[in-house]
Structure formats: C-alpha cells, structure tokens
C-alpha cells in the first residue's frame, strides 16, 4: 500500500504511477452460478467504480464461464477489487489486465434511414474505410455492423450522426482474450493438479 507522504522520492514516483486512473479489464472465471453477478457488482459499487462494459460467455474450459468487465480505476484499487472477488465461494479465479495485455474487440450496430443512407455521398468509401457490414436493409431502414475497438465504433457513430443521423445504436460489452497461449486459469488448475499428485 502506498503512503506517498512517508516515502522516498523513487518510491513516491512508483506510488503515483500505481494511482493513475485508466481502463482495466477484469476477467472472472466461475461456474455459471445464479446470483454471482449481483455479488460482483456490489464489490464495484462499494468501491464507487462504474462498470463500463460487461459480457459473459463460456470459456475455453468446459463448464467454466468467463465474466469480462471493464472499469476505470487505479492499479491499487484493482488489486483490492480482485482480492475481494476471489473471496466469493463460486469464483475460481479473477485477474485484471490493461489493454496492452489483451486482444479485444467490441461489436456495434447502427440503424439508419434507408433513403438517407443510400443517398449519402461516399457510401462505398465509408463502408471500405470502416470495414462495415450491411446486415439488413429494406425500404425503411438499413442496419450496419462494425467490429473494432471502442474509439473505432464511436468514430463511425459520430460520422453517421453528423451526416445523416442514427435511428438506433447499440454497442456490445468488450470481449477479450489474453496474449498468453492458454487461459490463465488453465495454468492455475494445472499447478493445483501437480501439487495434489506430488502429495
């Protein structure tokens, strides 16, 4: 725990780095148990942390689900949050990462007026520029899909809003995998098996 006013200059610098707020991704491995999400959100609420995005899906390990949550905080706070999450009975293990540790994406859908979309100058150029898919279109509306990082989906939203207006917009929670070869939980489970076998 950092107490900057009692620390020498070199330690003080490290303390301030750890207190810098930025976007973190929390990954929680658990069986898909009823009520676990409520327990987790309470931990964030008590720390006055806003959940920016949330997604839940099966992991690469059979029977284990992965909760992916993003929030803005400092590193010291994230360490405390993860320790609290790990104390939940139904949680196998949780981790936190920065963007540099992850490969991550979001998916966004944009509903537009068909007449305005087709009549917009440079439609083909926009589709190529943002690598957009047209997933539904009729006489009334067109639905576009864009996968990418948050800033990419947001930039497209802003451009469409300014040029023709957006009727509806939705963006998914972050989906992310680490740059390690396997799920981090796999390494932990393998270590536990080795310890049991050694005994």
66 burial via Cβ count (<10 Å: 0-12, 13-18, 19+): buried
Of all helices (H) and strands (E), which one includes residue 113? strand 102-113
Q: In the prediction, which pLDDT does 62 show?
A: 85
pLDDT at 60 over 70: yes
Which residues share a beta bridge with 36?
none
- Per the prediction, the chain carries an average pLDDT of 86
Q: CB within 8 A of 153, min separation 6: which ones? A: 106, 107, 108, 146, 147, 171
pLDDT at 2 over 70: no
Name which residue leads in pLDDT, 121 or 13: 121
Q: In the prediction, which pLDDT does 181 show?
A: 73
**What span, in angstroms and rounded, lies between the C-alpha atoms of 191 and 81?**
24
151-157 contact pairs (CB < 8 A, 24+): 153/106, 153/107, 153/108, 155/130, 156/108, 156/110, 156/130, 156/132, 157/108, 157/110
CATH of domain 4-97: 3.30.70.260
Q: 10 Å Cβ neighbour count for 24?
A: 22
Overall fold of domain 103-175: Alpha-Beta Plaits (3.30.70)
What tokens were used for 68? 């992916």
Parts of the chain belonging to CATH 3.30.70.260: 4-97
Q: In the prediction, which pLDDT does 32 show?
A: 79
Q: What is the pTM of this model?
A: 0.77
Q: What is the pLDDT of residues 79-121, one digit of tens each?
A: 999 999 999 988 999 999 999 999 999 999 999 999 999 999 9
Q: In the prediction, which pLDDT does 109 show?
A: 98
Per the rule left: phi > 0, alpha: psi between -120 and 50, beta: everything else, 195 is: alpha
- CB distance 37 to 51 below 8 Å: no
Parts of the chain belonging to CATH 3.30.70.1150: 103-175
Which residues share a beta bridge with 106?
148
């Amino acid at each position: 725990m950092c107490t900057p006013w009692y620390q020498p200059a070199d330690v003080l610098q490290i303390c301030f780095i750890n207190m810098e707020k930025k976007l973190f991704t929390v990954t929680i491995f658990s069986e898909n148990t009823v009520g676990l999400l409520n327990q987790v959100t309470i931990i964030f609420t008590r720390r006055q942390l806003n959940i920016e995005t949330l997604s839940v899906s099966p992991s690469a390990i059979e029977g284990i689900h992965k909760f992916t949550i993003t929030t803005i905080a400092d590193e010291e706070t994230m360490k405390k949050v993860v320790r609290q999450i790990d104390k939940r009975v139904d949680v196998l293990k949780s981790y936190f990462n920065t963007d540099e540790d992850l490969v991550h994406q979001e998916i966004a859908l944009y509903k537009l007026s068909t007449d305005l979309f087709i009549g917009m100058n440079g439609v083909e150029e926009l589709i190529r520029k943002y690598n957009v898919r047209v997933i539904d279109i009729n006489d009334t509306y067109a639905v576009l899909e864009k996968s990418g990082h948050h800033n990419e989906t947001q930039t497209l939203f802003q451009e469409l809003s300014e040029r023709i207006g957006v009727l509806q917009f939705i963006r998914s929670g972050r989906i992310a995998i680490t740059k390690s070869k396997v799920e981090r939980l796999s390494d932990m489970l393998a270590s536990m098996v080795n310890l049991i076998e050694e005994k």
